[in-house]
Amino acid sequence: MTDRTMPADDASPAVVVPERTGVIQWESIPRRIVTIWLPLSCFVIVLLFPFYWMAVTALKSNEELYNYKDYNPFWVHSPTLANINRLLFETDYPRWLTITMTVAVVATLLSIAASVLAAYAIQRLRFRGSNYLGLAIYLAYLVPPSILFIPLATIVFKLGLYDSPIALILTYPTFLIPFCTWLLIGYFKSIPYELEECALIDGASRLQILWRITLPLAVPGLISAGIFAFTLSWNEFIYALAFIQSAEKKTVPVAVLTQLVEGDVYHWGSLMAGALLGSIPVAVFYSFFVEYYVSSLTGAVKE
């Protein structure tokens, strides 16, 4: 490190400023390892270990799965595709995956459309009791599904929708809309209200303001709500178990558990393969929109 003398003015003495020469501060490296990299590594290992275990189990033969004395449980000795082949070609897994994707996408779109209208009305129209109504909608999300599926089952039977994916498409919004509405209410607060006031002065209607001003600014919030709704729809279990009886019409979370377990025999290889393949669409969906999701947590527009 060398010293560099700054030119002094008439009224101030010369100031000596130390000049960095690119020397690495080794004393900060252990602190960074302990405070950043070690916790981050532990978090990544804990987060990714279930996926690693599913992949390893799906590639193992039955001999390796049940013989821990001769084989390492954390590694594959002789990889095999028999479990994946049984899952894809000896079961209706492709059909289950298609039904799950269809139900999740349609239920998410319906829920986002209804949530946008509800959240905009509660946050922007400012009618009497709007704050209490927003709180009541969020409290509706906290109602356990195990309580709701009994009256919903009665309605599904009366409408003749039992054992049909349409029953899931119509019942999933009962817990998706409250959560998405609460999430969008918080995001709409970050959008300046002055933008809508200027549009109202120019003669725009509420629908035009919502479509041309509010929604384009709320894209990160919409994507965040869509991610949550899609994930909840994809992983839902109680309604899918209660309203669908036919094996070929079941969703992946229910079908993998009910069709790959025969009495007290668990086909662990195929079970793990089904769980792994069923988690890939959600992971891909997150990877495409992770930037929008992060920006929605902080608010893309600030006053």
DSSP per-residue letters across 64-87: HHH-TTTS-TTS-SS---HHHHHH
Residue 262: per-residue pLDDT: 80
pLDDT of residue 300: 42
Task: Give me the CATH number covering residue 110.
Answer: 1.10.3720.10
Bridge partners (DSSP) listed for residue 59: none
By C-alpha distance, which of 230, 221, 239, 241 is closest to 281? 230
Which range of residues forms the domain containing residue 18?
Answer: 2-80
Residue identified by tokens 């009495």 is 263
Residue 48's CB: how many other CB atoms inside 10 A?
10
What pLDDT does residue 296 have? 57
Q: For residues 278 and 97, is the Cβ–Cβ distance under 8 A?
A: yes
Say yes or no: 69 and 102 in one domain: no
Q: What angle do CA 67, 73, 77 make, to 5 degrees?
A: 80
By percentage, how much of the chain surpasses pLDDT 90?
A: 26
140 assigned to some structural domain: yes
Mean pLDDT (the chain, rounded): 83
DSSP H helices in the chain: 28-32, 38-58, 62-66, 82-89, 93-124, 130-141, 145-159, 165-171, 173-188, 193-201, 206-209, 215-217, 219-235, 238-243, 252-259, 268-298
- 65 & 90 share domain: no
- Residue 106, pLDDT score: 96
pLDDT: which is higher, 33 or 162: 162
Total structural domains within the chain: 2
Would you place residue 4 in the very low, low, confident or very high pLDDT band (cuts 50, 70, 90)? low
Residues 100-108, mean pLDDT to the nearest whole number: 95
Q: Report d(CA 65, CA 78) in Å as an integer.
A: 11
Query: What digits encode the pLDDT tens for the residues 259-287?
Result: 888 877 888 888 899 988 888 888 887 77
pLDDT, residue 301, reads: 41
The 10s digit of each residue's pLDDT in 49-93 is 988 999 999 999 888 888 888 888 888 888 889 889 989 998 899
pLDDT at position 133 is 83
198 with 293, same domain: the answer is yes
Residue 169 has pLDDT above 90, yes or no: yes
Q: Provide the terminal-to-terminal Cα distance of the chain, rounded to the nearest Å.
A: 45
CB 111 within 8 A of CB 176: yes
Indicate whether 170 and 218 sit together in one domain: yes
Q: Which of 37, 57, 80 is the last residue of a domain?
A: 80
For the whole model, what pTM was predicted? 0.79
CA 44 to chain centre: 17
Contact indicator for 1, 19 with CB cutoff of 8 Å: yes
